[in-house]
């Protein structure tokens, strides 16, 4: 069903790979950079022949919840992802995944930065009527839809709308990699928010691993 999984590099990629352990004939898992750096990465995959028309691709990873009914650890499928221009997920593939996993189909929005405050989460939810936020899905859908790749987005909430997290905008370099020193500084500046981030991330990663295992054992 799914030939290729795209998942942000680092902890999210490792969680998905753990979920695929012991799975016969697993899909190819490609670790992607975070944020805007994903676009040139996907174009390089297209040039290398790794993304072709008719392929079925699943984007996985964590996301931030923007509405009260979504809690940390909840899994969601995107119907579409919004930014300046909305981009739609493959309807048939998304509905098929929903039939297997029984998770809600939501409205996603892509941000060019980490949304860290409760106020900014509320504003984003109102502006776009969005349920969740991430930093990659619009670019993924824009590029893969143009190629003719059938694409679905499946993510796990790791940050809810009730708490602040540290401002991580400076923690990613231009290549979309998380910088440990910058991350540590951001966490030290906001210790309470950092606690929420750590707890939410650990719960979200565990749920992402379990979700991957459940999907590919059907």
The closest alpha carbon to 80, from 118, 107, 40, belongs to 107
Q: Hey, which residues does 153 pair with through a beta bridge?
A: 59
What is the structure's pLDDT at 17? 97
Please count the structural domains in the chain.
Answer: 1
Q: Are 211 and 101 in contact (CB under 8 A)?
A: yes
What is the structure's pLDDT at 109? 97
What is the structure's pLDDT at 159? 95
What is the structure's pLDDT at 14? 97
DSSP state of 134: E
Buried b (16+ CB within 10 A) or exposed e, 25-43: ebbebbbbbbbebbbebbe
β pairing state of 75-82 and 150-159:
antiparallel
Query: How far, in Å, CA of 205 to CA of 12, rounded?
Result: 6
Which CATH number do you get for residue 84?
Answer: 3.40.50.1580
What is the structure's pLDDT at 173? 76
Query: How far, in Å, CA of 159 to CA of 6, rounded?
Result: 21
Residue range 156-188, pLDDT digits in tens: 999 999 999 998 877 777 777 878 888 888 888
List, for the chain, all residue ranges whose pLDDT scores fall below the cut of 50.
none
CA distances from 184 to 6, 8, 188 (A): 27, 20, 6
What is the structure's pLDDT at 143? 96
Q: How many CB atoms lie within 10 A of CB 62?
A: 23
User: Which domain covers residue 120, as residue numbers?
Assistant: 4-215
Q: Are 120 and 145 in contact (CB under 8 A)?
A: no
């Amino acid at each position: 069903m799914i030939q290729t999984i795209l998942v942000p590099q680092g902890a999210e990629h490792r969680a998905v790979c753990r979920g695929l352990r012991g799975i016969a004939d697993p899909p190819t898992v490609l670790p992607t950079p975070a944020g805007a750096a994903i676009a040139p990465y996907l174009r390089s995959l297209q040039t290398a022949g790794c993304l072709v028309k008719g392929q079925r691709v699943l984007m996985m990873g964590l996301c931030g919840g923007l509405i009260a009914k979504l809690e940390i650890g909840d899994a969601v499928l995107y119907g579409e992802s919004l930014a300046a221009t909305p981009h739609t997920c493959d309807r048939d593939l998304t509905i098929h995944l929903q039939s297997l996993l029984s998770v809600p189909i939501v409205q996603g929005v892509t941000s060019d930065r980490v949304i860290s405050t409760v106020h900014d989460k509320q504003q984003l939810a109102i502006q776009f009527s969005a349920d969740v936020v991430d930093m990659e899905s619009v670019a993924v859908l824009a590029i893969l839809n143009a190629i003719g790749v059938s694409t679905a987005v499946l993510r796990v909430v790791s940050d809810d709308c009730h708490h602040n997290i540290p401002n991580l905008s400076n923690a990613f370099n231009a290549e979309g990699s998380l910088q440990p020193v910058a991350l540590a500084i951001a966490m030290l500046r906001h210790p309470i928010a950092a606690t929420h981030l750590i707890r939410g991330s650990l719960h979200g990663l565990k749920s992402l691993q379990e979700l991957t295992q459940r999907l590919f054992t059907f």
